[in-house]
Amino acid sequence: VGIVGTGSTAAQCIPELINSGAKVNVFQRTPQWILPLKDFSIPNFVKRLLGRFPTLNRISRASGKFFVEHFFTKAVTGHKIQRFLMEFFVKLNLKLAIKDPELRRKLRPDYQVGCKRLIINTTFYKAIQKDNAALITEGIDHIEPKGVVTKDGKLHELDTLVLSTGFDPLAYMRPMNLIGKDNTHINDAWAENVGVYRSMLIPKFPNFFLTLGPNTPIGNFSVIAMSEVQCDYLLKLISQWRSGKFDAVEPTNIAVENFNAYVKNGLDATAWVGGCTSWYLDAHGNPILWPYTWGRWVKEMRIPNDEDLQFASYSQQ
């Protein structure tokens, strides 16, 4: 079995393939930093306690939120102490887990921790050291019926090839056939860059709202929490519509330009410019996520800024 890729999904597949007993060739283009956080089950007595005392649920959620917000998110957005701690843990994990110095060298990334999406995994390092596993770092030249040929001319014969090579992070809701004002298709609107205001509103697409769109704060935070903040913002706009303030709303072009410039200005302090090629940046080097803190994002999302929006009212037909 061959598998192309060593990212988040591959790091889950590879140990299972190796543990099946098959001979597994892992074709690695770029090594990944791995943080060993174990999965765990919640015992039944703890579930009963959480059900009986809702306050414990709230404390548990608040503790997890605090840890993610003030460690993971800040570690990739320019906070030195959090960055140091995360780098220390992942580098120590690599050193302790991989015994063979040559294999360790192949698995050690040459970019800053967090520049690519951090892999959360406790099984990859153990599996890749087994006798039926091979890590291949030579680039792939082509694929033929018998297997994969690497750039050194070697044929790696395979029965099965697994592609774990990612997805298009800039597609968002596409291939949805979305058409706005002036017969503007979303593919044309986003031909050069993905221009969105506050991750949710697109010029020339009135009353079309996104959640988890471009520049939504990823930073290893909860997408549930992100969606909740965005829904609160959108409900405020919907309430204004229900009160008769407008029939349609969209962002101004200048608001989108200013927002995108504001986001890009925060990029230099982040880990995402730490020497790697990642899906966090588009082809022009613009970030597709939020480069500041979670708290700053929440604060700026509390009230819609009417100056950045253009409203339209339609006369009754």
Output the furthest CA–CA distance in the chain (Å, rounded): 76
Phi/psi at 256 (nearest 5 deg)?
-65, -45
Per-residue pLDDT of the chain (317 residues; tens, 9 = 90+): 999 999 999 999 999 999 999 999 999 999 999 999 988 899 999 999 999 999 999 999 899 889 888 888 899 988 999 999 999 999 999 999 999 999 999 999 999 999 998 999 999 999 999 999 999 999 999 999 999 999 999 999 999 999 999 888 889 999 999 999 999 999 999 998 898 999 999 999 999 999 999 999 876 788 899 999 999 999 999 999 999 999 999 999 999 999 999 999 999 889 988 888 888 888 888 888 899 999 999 999 999 999 999 999 986 54
- Nearest Cα neighbor of 205 from 196, 193, 213, 214 is 196
Judged on CB neighbours under 10 Å (0-12, 13-18, 19+), 129 is middle
Expressed in percent and rounded to 5, the helix, strand and coil fractions of the chain are 40, 15, 45
Amino acid identity of 166? G
Residues of the chain with CATH 3.50.50.60: 181-312
Can you name the residues that pair with 312 across neighbouring β-strands? 248
pTM of this structure: 0.87
Q: What is the pLDDT of residue 218?
A: 72
Check: CB of residue 58 under 8 Å from CB of residue 64.
no
Question: Residue 1 CB: number of other CB atoms within 10 A?
Answer: 18
What's the chain's length in residues? Answer: 317
**How far is the CA of 306 from the CAs of 7, 201, 247, 263, in angstroms?**
41, 13, 14, 20
CB 215 within 8 Å of CB 263: yes
Q: Which amino acid is at 212?
A: L
Q: Left if phi > 0, otherwise alpha if psi is -120 to 50, otherwise beta: which for 146? A: alpha
Phi and psi for 38 in degrees, rounded to 5? -80, 145
What pLDDT, on the 0 to 100 scale, is given for residue 317?
44
User: CATH homologous superfamily for 181-312?
Assistant: FAD/NAD(P)-binding domain (3.50.50.60)
- The values of phi and psi at residue 167, to 5°, are -150, 180
pLDDT value of residue 315? 64
Residue 140 bridge partners (DSSP): 150
Phi, psi (rounded to 5 degrees) for 98: -105, 115
Whether residue 51 contacts residue 161, with contact meaning beta carbons closer than 8 Å, is answered with no
